Amino acid sequence: MSTDRQRDADLDRLLRATLRRDSAIQPDACPDAGMLAAVVEGGVSVDERAPLEEHLAACGRCQETLAAMDLEAPASSQAPTPAVAAKRPWLWRGHLHWLIPVAAASMLVIYLASKPAIAPYFPPGRPAPDTQMADARTSQFPPAESVERTAPPPAAVTDKGKTGVDEQTVLGPAAPAAGSAPPAQARRSDAAAPAFAPKPVPLPAKGEQAAASGTFAMRTKQDVDAAKKAAEPAAPQPASATPAVAPPVTATVNVTEAAPPSRAGLPAGGEARLTATKAAAPAAAAPPTMNQVLTATAPPPAAEGIIAGAELSKTDAKGAAVAAAANVQSKGDASERALRAAPSDLVVVSAPGGRIQWRVGSNGGIWRSADEGKTWYPQKSGVKSALLAAAAPSVNACWAVGVGGTVLLTDDGERWERRPFPERTDLVMVDARSSHEAIVTTRDGRRFATANRGATWTLQR
Amino acid sequence: MLVPVHEARRLWQRSGAERWGLAESDFTGVLERSAAARFRGGPPAPDQVAGFLAALHHEDLALAAACALGLNAAWEHFVREFRPILLRVAGKGQPVDRVRDVADSIYADLFGLEQRDGKRRSLFDYYHGRSSLAGWLRAVVAQRIVDKVRESRRFDPLPDDEGEASGGVSDGTPAVDRERYLTLVQGALAAALARLEARDRLRLSLYYARDVKLKAIGRMLGESEATASRKLERTRRMLREAVERRLRDEQRLTDAEIALCFDYARTDPAFDLARTLPPPATEEEGA
């Protein structure tokens, strides 16, 4: 009697014998070399891809061609035209290219060191996304009898979005508005003062700061100095604050302010509710010490997949800002968690009404809340790319976009599907009128519009 | 005319075609040809054309067009930059003499030694810019090599027929029963495969039949290696469950008999699955 593993091996042999039988498809029916290459490079539309895959799944000639195309060769092996090569900065032309992995590793170390804990975001027993990715990478498909398969590559060397490095950290967060404070991450190394200063310091009037909303934005040393020099001599300064310390407030970088999307393509009445508030890392100048983090009481266990709102409140800019505005002292675990450094890579959007919310971020992470952010449920995005922006035009529809031309759409609020995009370029913004109509903006400022759920895209002028 | 004049001009400027001395009219002609091939079914909407044009590899298209016209600067650049790609793909797992033959024939076709109606025909005329030029070149070389190999297979001597399965195995099962069990399990597997989505079948075929590695499969299907591995595992699990269920429910085999089916598939050296079933239904029969 076969064992279970033996049964699997037997099935492997059967599959190999069955699938190697050559089909009798005429060569004239095969796609030309250009279409084969376009399929490999993602250059075909979704309506073209389905019939192509049907053919490829049945055609031995095309399968052998694909196998012979050296698909394992890195994409960079493609010879660039001089225009492309000239556009590349000096660093990419072969000079000091070794700096890139070193820089990436350094940023990873800084990022991990600046994130006190990611485990509390997930219920006990459920690994964090990076761990899940590592587990997926280490799981190896059983090797065939005599053909050596490569094990999944080490976690540090994979395709985009799979390096274990938070892409948002590597690429940098979205550029804040001119004049706004730099992200808190840059200031993490300034930790010296007590975790929480008693009184926040008013901000200089710079427009984009969240003063208008009643929240406090992050202060940097420059802001502190500017505040001193500003016409507010009576502004109280924390007695215990050192020159390098800023009050422990949460940074609120409003992505829409950084590059406000043009609403020209959307009718005023049907404008999507786009609230992309980027919960950036807070309290850079005065983060809690490691002891404070380690001794903080663990959050109450939550049901599988449900993340208590309190744990995610640290990522909620509004919640954290409210806590900061209330002059929370370093007294209890709840206040510590509320002001603990939050991941800087989560974008929050609300559907009309505010009850339904989504969060998107690195590693294709998507969470949904149906109770105004009190509890969150993870959703399967099907991608590992970093998601940079989102828009929720209705309670059931949400668009999410990110690096490498990633476009995701749900129109039932639960299941996400990837929509094709003509370029593998980073998409940093999305405006959506409905689940059918949306406009995305690339990192270099170009805008593409769709009116058919992302089946086709048109470059906007 | 599918391509608006202003759009053609903008793309011509963006493609750097002037570097090769490629005229705007020639570049526009290439764009028109590419768009016509894409929208063969009927007149497209303007936004469809605009989206299609925006997604093309413009620099590569300009280089290919300039090479097709025999412009020296373009050809020199192509030979310098793309020859390594051609040789690497052509040489992958192939005997040296075949590599040289393939490379030489491709160079000749790219240059356009063949003349038709007094006009030189270049292989570059078939490049439509929907993929990178390097990717297209890899596909061209791969197709040439595959066609040569497949043609040579027709003239390779057939393997010696090892005969039918031995009259019995140590368990004393008659040969007819062995053949029956093998046929049943293969039939169940074929039925299960037919119910898979094309994408899953393609993934299986590339892995099992063509020995393509997971990373390459993932790249082709736009997935990570881990995703390709996970989906492959899931598909195989589904197939196994489908095969066992079919043998149990439809063929009324016991668990012991199902185990025999798999055992015989593993141990029978002469079993040729290709002989037991007719070829699958294809788009066109013959050859």
Report pLDDT digits (tens) over A213-236: 443 444 455 555 665 665 555 444
A334 belongs to a structural domain: yes
B5 is written with which tokens? Answer: 């004049």
Shortest distance between the Cα of B101 and any Cα of chain A, in A, equals: 16
Instruction: For chain B, give every domain's residue range.
Output: 5-39+46-151, 175-276
**pLDDT the model gives residue A448:** 92
B88 is written with which tokens? Answer: 């690497």
| Mean pLDDT (whole number) for A34-46 | 86
Four-point Cα dihedral B82, B87, B90, B94, nearest 10: -170
For an interface test with B, the pick among A141, A158, A380, A447 (most B C-beta atoms closer than 10 Å) comes out as: A141
B212: chain A residues, CB-CB within 8 Å = 66-67, 71
Decide if pLDDT at A393 tops 70.
yes
Shortest distance between the Cα of A131 and any Cα of chain B, in A, equals: 13
Cα–Cα dist B244/B181, whole Å: 12
Name the residue of chain A whose CA is nearest to B62's CA. Answer: A81
Separation of first and last alpha carbons in chain A: 68
Cβ neighbours of residue B215 closer than 8 Å, sequence gap 6 or more: A72, A150, A153, B225, B228
Count structural domains, chain A: 1
Report pLDDT digits (tens) over B209-239: 988 999 889 888 888 999 999 999 999 999 9
A204 belongs to a structural domain: yes
Q: Which residue range is the domain that position A223 belongs to?
A: 170-460
Question: Helices marked H in A97-139 — which ranges?
Answer: 99-114, 129-138
A18: chain B residues, CB-CB within 8 Å = 186, 189-190, 193, 273
Give A377's pLDDT tier (boundaries 50, 70, 90).
Answer: confident
B100 is written with which tokens? Answer: 């040289």
**pLDDT the model gives residue A338:** 40
Task: State the complex-level ipTM.
Answer: 0.84
| Mean pLDDT (whole number) for B259-275 | 68
**pLDDT the model gives residue B195:** 92
A384: chain B residues, CB-CB within 8 Å = 224, 227
Instruction: Count residue pairs from A and B with Cβ separation < 8 A.
Output: 281
Name the residue of chain A whose CA is nearest to B276's CA. Answer: A18
Cβ neighbours of residue A266 closer than 8 Å, sequence gap 6 or more: A272, A431, A433, A437, A439
A108 belongs to a structural domain: no
**pLDDT the model gives residue A337:** 45
Residue B88 and residue A70: Cβ atoms within 8 Å?
yes
Shortest distance between the Cα of A161 and any Cα of chain B, in A, equals: 9
Decide if pLDDT at A360 tops 70.
yes
A440: chain B residues, CB-CB within 8 Å = none
Q: State phi, psi for A66 to the nearest 5 degrees.
A: -60, -40
Decide if pLDDT at B81 tops 70.
yes
Cβ neighbours of residue B242 closer than 8 Å, sequence gap 6 or more: B188, B191, B192, B195
Name the residue of chain A whose CA is nearest to B183's CA. Answer: A14
Q: Give the least confident one: A34-48, A105-119, A446-460.
A: A105-119
Residue B199 and residue A139: Cβ atoms within 8 Å?
no
Cα–Cα dist B1/A185, whole Å: 53
Decide if pLDDT at A169 tops 80.
no
Residue B236 and residue A8: Cβ atoms within 8 Å?
yes
| Mean pLDDT (whole number) for A126-151 | 43
Name the residue of chain B whose CA is nearest to A49's CA. Answer: B199
| Partner residue facing A67 (CB), from B135, B206, B283 | B206
Can you give the length of chain B in residues? 287
| Mean pLDDT (whole number) for A434-443 | 89
Shortest distance between the Cα of B16 and any Cα of chain A, in A, equals: 7
- Tell me the one-letter amino acid at A412: D
Decide if pLDDT at A73 tops 70.
no
Is residue A273 helix, strand or coil? strand
Name the residue of chain A whose CA is nearest to B224's CA. Answer: A159
Q: State phi, psi for A294 to the nearest 5 degrees.
A: -70, -30
The sign of the CA dihedral A266, A267, A270, A274 is: positive
Cα–Cα dist A124/A301, whole Å: 7
A4: chain B residues, CB-CB within 8 Å = none
Report pLDDT digits (tens) over A257-314: 444 434 444 444 444 443 444 444 444 444 445 444 344 444 444 444 444 444 444 4
Residue A150 and residue B51: Cβ atoms within 8 Å?
no
Shortest distance between the Cα of B245 and any Cα of chain A, in A, equals: 14
Residue A9 and residue B218: Cβ atoms within 8 Å?
no
* Pair type for strands A447-450 and A438-442: antiparallel
Residue B131 and residue A37: Cβ atoms within 8 Å?
yes
Cβ neighbours of residue A353 closer than 8 Å, sequence gap 6 or more: A395
| Partner residue facing B146 (CB), from A29, A61, A150 | A61
Give A63's pLDDT tier (boundaries 50, 70, 90).
Answer: very high
B265: chain A residues, CB-CB within 8 Å = 10, 13-14
Shortest distance between the Cα of A455 and any Cα of chain B, in A, equals: 10
Residue B136 and residue A37: Cβ atoms within 8 Å?
yes
Cα–Cα dist A194/A242, whole Å: 10
Q: Give the least confident one: A19-28, B20-29, B232-241.
A: A19-28
A256 belongs to a structural domain: yes
B215: chain A residues, CB-CB within 8 Å = 72, 150, 153
Cα–Cα dist A194/A241, whole Å: 8
Report pLDDT digits (tens) over A300-347: 444 444 444 444 444 444 444 444 444 444 444 444 444 343 344 578
B48: chain A residues, CB-CB within 8 Å = 456, 458
Residue B229 and residue A139: Cβ atoms within 8 Å?
yes
Tell me if A407 sits within 8 A of A419, measured CB to CB: yes
Residue A83 and residue B140: Cβ atoms within 8 Å?
no
Decide if pLDDT at A177 tops 50.
no
Name the residue of chain B whose CA is nearest to A86's CA. Answer: B16
Q: How many CB atoms lie within 10 A of CB A80?
A: 19
| Partner residue facing A458 (CB), from B51, B233, B282 | B51
Name the residue of chain B whose CA is nearest to A1's CA. Answer: B259
Shortest distance between the Cα of B149 and any Cα of chain A, in A, equals: 10
| Mean pLDDT (whole number) for A424-440 | 90
| Partner residue facing A63 (CB), from B85, B205, B232 | B205
Q: How many CB atoms lie within 10 A of CB A225?
A: 12
**pLDDT the model gives residue A246:** 44
Cβ neighbours of residue B275 closer than 8 Å, sequence gap 6 or more: none
Name the residue of chain A whose CA is nearest to B74's CA. Answer: A81
Report pLDDT digits (tens) over A404-421: 999 999 988 888 999 999
Decide if pLDDT at A86 tops 80.
no
Decide if pLDDT at A153 tops 70.
no
Top-confidence residue, B120 or A177: B120
Q: How many CB atoms lie within 10 A of CB B279?
A: 11
| Partner residue facing A78 (CB), from B134, B145, B186 | B134
For an interface test with B, the pick among A26, A41, A49 (most B C-beta atoms closer than 10 Å) comes out as: A41
Q: Give the least confident one: A42-46, A115-119, A311-315, A347-351.
A: A311-315
Residue B224 and residue A159: Cβ atoms within 8 Å?
yes
For an interface test with B, the pick among A15, A22, A23, A384 (most B C-beta atoms closer than 10 Å) comes out as: A15
A242 belongs to a structural domain: yes
pTM score above 0.95: no
The listed range with the strongest mean pLDDT (A344-358, B232-246, B271-285) is B232-246
Shortest distance between the Cα of B172 and any Cα of chain A, in A, equals: 15
Decide if pLDDT at A359 tops 60.
yes
**pLDDT the model gives residue B12:** 93
**pLDDT the model gives residue A174:** 41
Tell me if B243 sits within 8 A of B192, measured CB to CB: yes
